[in-house]
Structures are given as C-alpha cells and as structure tokens.
Structure 1
Amino acid sequence: MDPATGPTLLGFDVYIVGSIMAGIAALAVVFAIYTALTIKDPMSKRVKALEGRREELKMGLVTAGTKKRQSLVRKTDTTDRIKDTLGSMKVLQQSQVEVVQQKLAQAGFRNKELAIVIIGLRAVLPILLGGFAFVMLYLVEVYPDWQMKRVGALALALFIGYKGPELYISNIAKKRSDAIRKGLPDALDLLVICAEAGLTVDAAFNRVAKELGRAYPELGDEFALTAIELSFLNERKKAFNNLAYRVDLDAVKGVVTTMIQTERYGTPLASALRVLSAEFRNERMMRAEEKAARLPAIMTVPLILFILPVLFIVILGPAACSIADAFSGGIG
C-alpha cells in the first residue's frame, strides 16, 4: 500500500469516503435544524387564496386587475387551441375530460382547464419519448449489445409517455386521500364539539379547518373550501356533494350523506357524527393492526437478502481470517 494514501475498501479510499459521508451528515443536520426552526403554516396561503376567491364570487367579479385578466385570457386561449386540435384529431371526448377533471380535483388542482392539457400531453408525450428512444437506441445505438431489449425499452418509453401524466396525477391523489383519511376522525370529533356548542354547519367547518390546518393541511383545505361554498351557494347540498367529488374516500361520502340527511330531516347532527367518528377510529385501528400482521412476512425477504449475509460475515469473518493466517504461516 502506498504510504501517501490511506487504507482502501473495495478500491475506494476510506478517508475520502468517510469525509464525504461526514459532510453529507453535517449538511443533513443543518437542514433538519433549519426546517425545525422555520415552521410555516401550510394553510395560510391556501386560505388566503380561498378567501380572495370568496370575495370575488360575492362581488360578482371573475378577475381582478388587467394583468390577471390578460393571463387568464392567454391561458384560456391556449387551452382552447389544444381543445380544438384534439377535437380535430377525434381524440377528445367529454366523458374523458370529466374523468380527468375529477382526478385533478382529487389531487388538489382546482383549475379544470388543466384536464385539456393532461389529455394533450397523453397524445404528445408518446410521440416525443418514443421518437427520442428510437433515435437513441436504433440510430445512435447507445447500447449496441441490446437486441430484443431495444424493443422492450421502446415500448416502455411509449407506455411512460401515454400513462405517465395519469399515473402522476393518480399518485398525488392517492397520497392526498391517505392524508385526509388519517385526519378525518379528529375532524369529526371537532365537528361534534362545534355542533354541541351551537355553531352552524359552515362555521363548524371553518373552525375545524383552522384548528386542523397545521396538522392535516389537505383536510383543512377541503373543509375550508366547503365552508366557503356553504356560505354562498344556493343549495347547501351542492357544497357537500362537491366535497365528495373532490375526495375519493368512502368515509367522506358517508359524512356527506349524513350531513345531507341532517339538513333535510333535521336529525341531531352531533350524535350521527359521533357514531361515524367511532367507526372511522375502529377502521383506522384495524388497518394499523393489518399492517402490523403483514410485517413479519414482508420482513422475510430483506432479512434473507441483507441481514443474514452481513451476520454471517461478522460471525465467520474473523474465523476465516484466522484460518487463512494459519495456513499461510504453515506454508511459509
């Protein structure tokens, strides 16, 4: 070993690797301290935007200011051009647009015009990604050893181009639904307290949104928007149906059905919400127990592949080194 260099492991200098890892660890600690000291309310900007939209709807305004009006007109013109192009290509259907709009709403995107953009990306991205993959694999021949793998890579590029936007939106919607599911029992408990305190339904939703906005920003966002819709829509049932439209959860649909029935028949709201809260808590506990029961089976493969080989190396490594030293000494 060269005295100018340190010990090596798998061809890498141990000192250099250790220094790099220590630097990364120090940066991670600094970042963790920074994020812990700079806590920001995730609901503040969203609530401010919703309140602004509420005032605009009350005053009958659609836009505010010339710049905002021009930006909205440009965005509308762009989506109209995309819609006309897709319509001329016979690849745009109203039912398809409605499905994409609902997925965008479930993912937290309020602009319905984005549905046209998503459908346009599904038509354009396969051509772009497929053409790029074809050029790189067949013309440039980045991997000349690939034979049948080229066909698979080209098919994968086409699949990602077509299903990529939809999978991205579905992933965001799933994460948002999971976050809302976690905070729903606590939200129902607070709704029960607000109902028993004598608050109206829209005031109760607004109060719950403020209280749970920091812990569950997604749920607070939906409740705040529902409270705003309850205050200015002609039919309160439509506001509850919009909540069920934006959140793809059976629990939320049950809450919406309960709220509509209490509005229609005048049944006690607190008792019904208390029963729903108890059911959702039991469901959450059962889901956690199910995940805990699956844990031993899930840990079997990592245990066999990663933990047991390392354990064997730690146990048998010194013995193997001693045996090798003994043999080398006897031979010498």
Structure 2
Amino acid sequence: MTPHNPTLLGIDVYWVATLLSGVAAMAVMLAIYAVTTVRNPMTKRVKALNDRREQLKAGITASTKRRAKLVQRNDTADKMRSVLSRMKVLQDEQLKDAQKKLMQAGIRSKDWAVAVIFGRLVLPIVFGGIMLFWVYGTDYWADWSEIKRYGLVAGSFILSYKAPDIFLKNKITKRSDAIRKGLPDALDLLVICAEAGLTVDAAFSRVARELGRAYPELGDEFTLTAIELGFLTERRQAFENLSQRIDLDAIKGVVTTMVQTEKYGTPLASALRVLSAEFRNERMMRAEEKAARLPAIMTVPLILFILPTLFVVILGPAACSIKDSFLTG
C-alpha cells in the first residue's frame, strides 16, 4: 500500500507546502524583476499631463479634423466595446462609474473602463470555469464533501467577478492615503503663494513643482488642476474635476473653499490656513488612534510567538538542571 500524506482539515499538507513554495519562488522572482527594471515614474506622469494639455488645447483652438487626429484610438478597447455592446451588457452608468474609479486610482486612460467591465464578464468564465472543471470534472477533490466543493467553485466565481473592483479599490485607497499625508503641507504652500500675490493657477503650479517629488500623487493632481484652470472656460469646473479625481472629503472641503473664494471674493489665505490647521489636527488624531489601538493588536502575536519563546529561553536551562539533578541523585 502506498503511504498517505498527512492532511489538515481534509487538505494534503505536502500539496499546500508545494503550492506555497511555488508562490514564494514566484514572489522572489517578481521582486528581483522589479528591482532590476526600475523606471523613472516622472516620465509617465509628465507624458500623461502633456496629453491632457494637448486635449484641452485641441478642444479650444483646434479644428474638428485635428481633434479627431489627436484622439488616440485603442483597437483592443474598441474590440472589447463591440463585444460588450453586442451582448447588451455595456451600460452608460457602469461606464461612468468605472471611469470615475479609474481617475481616483490615478489611471488617466478612459479605455481601461471598458477593460474593467470586460474583466467582470470574462474573468468569472475563465477562472470559474477552470475551477468548475477541476472540482467536478476530475477526481482530485473527490474526498471533499459537496458543500466544500460547491463553496470552492462559488468562491472562485465571486472572487473572479470582484477582482477588478478589488484591484481598483486598493489603488484608490493607497493613492488617497498618499494624498492625505501631503495635503496640509500643500495648503501651507498655497497660503504662502496666495500671500505673495500669485494667482490661483500659478499657485497650484508652484506647489506642484515643490511637492512633486515628496508627494508625486498630489503633485500630479495639482499640476492637472493648474492646466485645466488655464484652459477651461469655467474655473469652477477645474475645481470640481479635482474633487472627482480624488476620493477624499478633505479635498472636497478645499474645492468648496476655492469655489466660494472665486465666487464671493473672500480672502483665500485665511480660509486655507484654517483648513490646513484642521487637516493637521485630523492627522494627529488619526495617529493617536492607531497608537491607542496598538496594544490590543499586539496581544495575539505576543501570546502566540513571543511568550512561548521567552518561556523556553528562561525555563529551559532550569528544567535541564532539575532533570540532571534528579538523574544524578
């Protein structure tokens, strides 16, 4: 008889160890690739901002034929759009929602909105179909119960459908956190620029240049806002675009202040100084909240990993000495 491998909750331990080893090797290879192929992030950001400047310039001064030439066509996106249109699953509301999430994630191309909706359709068919065939078409999971196999297949379908949204949500959260960290410093610089007599678009450009390396996400947004302030006919629209591109309530407060300043002529420096102080206090309160939550978070690792090792180190020599004394006695 062939010996059976040890199992844990009905899962082959050796198979799980092999899978985890493969994942670890893949992660190491990806890390090495990421380190050896470092690219300058400024090049891509500058190209995106120049593209936006050309689009705004074309919308104002260029003729209709030149506008059509400046609009970049993506054959892959057009094919996906045609497939979704034939299947009657491409809705305008979904497309606008996906485009808004892409803007908040820092992805400027609107063609990726079609790719997100296409991924929601294709990924469950591909990965869910593979898992369905693997579970019910082979005997690999024959020792599992029907509930476990159904849960595995259903989880694969649900996770595949939610994968694009989860990816975008993670990028939006990371980008929003990075912008939140640099917002108080940006407002302080805006106050200095406003008191120095600079206009709003010049102040945004100056702050973007100063904070472009420390906070690249915030620098990109401020640069894009400065470009739109210079080209759009309504300055209010540029500020509203800024609030739509960033998923932060703080940015909405800044945009409201800017719009009111433009409309009623109220002093900009004093309003921004108050907002900067509020955001700094909010950041300090958030840090204090994390510090207060740290002891409760550290309790479980302390009990599971630190205390057993400490007991072995302290009581191990004493136990060995007592054992030796009993044996010699």
Report the equivalent of 2:271.
272
TM-score by length of 2: 0.81
Q: The residue matched to 2:255 in structure 1 has which SS?
A: helix
1:328 and 1:154 map into 2 onto residues whose CA distance is 59
Identity %: 65
2:54 and 2:83 map into 1 onto residues whose CA distance is 36
Report the equivalent of 1:19.
none
Match status 1:125 vs 2:123: yes
Displacement after TM superposition at 1:40 (Å): 8.3
Root-mean-square deviation (CA), in Å?
2.7
Displacement after TM superposition at 1:62 (Å): 4.6
Distance 1:130 1:328, change over 3 A: farther
Match status 1:83 vs 2:81: yes
Match status 1:200 vs 2:194: no
1:241-320 correspondence to structure 2 within 5 Å: 241-320=240-319
Displacement after TM superposition at 1:89 (Å): 2.6
Q: The residue matched to 1:43 in structure 2 has which SS?
A: helix
Contact 2:124 2:160 in 1 (8 A): yes
Report the equivalent of 1:222.
221
Q: Deviations over 1:288-308 (max 9, x none)?
A: 111111111111111111111
Q: Deviations over 1:209-240 (max 9, x none)?
A: 11111111110011111111111111111110
Contact 1:43 1:213 in 2 (8 A): no
1:219 and 1:115 map into 2 onto residues whose CA distance is 23
Contact 1:41 1:214 in 2 (8 A): no
Distance 1:289 1:270, change over 3 A: same
Contact 1:43 1:221 in 2 (8 A): no
2:323 and 2:139 map into 1 onto residues whose CA distance is 48
2:200 and 2:40 map into 1 onto residues whose CA distance is 25
Contact 1:42 1:214 in 2 (8 A): no
Displacement after TM superposition at 1:320 (Å): 2.5
1:33-44 correspondence to structure 2 within 5 Å: 42-44=41-43
Distance 1:45 1:117, change over 3 A: closer
Displacement after TM superposition at 1:98 (Å): 1.2
Distance 1:309 1:216, change over 3 A: same
Report the equivalent of 1:94.
92
Structure 2 gap ranges (5+): 1-30
Structure 2 counterpart of 1:275, one-letter code: V
1:215 and 1:297 map into 2 onto residues whose CA distance is 33
User: How many residues are matched?
Assistant: 291
Displacement after TM superposition at 1:117 (Å): 1.1
Displacement after TM superposition at 1:142 (Å): 3.1
Structure 2 counterpart of 1:191, one-letter code: L
Report the equivalent of 1:111.
109
Contact 1:229 1:239 in 2 (8 A): yes
Match status 1:139 vs 2:137: yes
Contact 1:47 1:224 in 2 (8 A): no
Structure 1 counterpart of 2:200, one-letter code: V
Contact 1:42 1:217 in 2 (8 A): no
Structure 1 gap ranges (5+): 1-27
Distance 1:136 1:41, change over 3 A: closer
Displacement after TM superposition at 1:56 (Å): 5.5
Displacement after TM superposition at 1:252 (Å): 0.1
Distance 1:40 1:271, change over 3 A: farther
Contact 2:56 2:232 in 1 (8 A): no
2:256 and 2:89 map into 1 onto residues whose CA distance is 36
Q: Deviations over 1:58-86 (max 9, x none)?
A: 25355879xxx8xx43x1x4333323332
Q: The residue matched to 1:92 in structure 2 has which SS?
A: coil
Structure 1 counterpart of 2:158, one-letter code: F
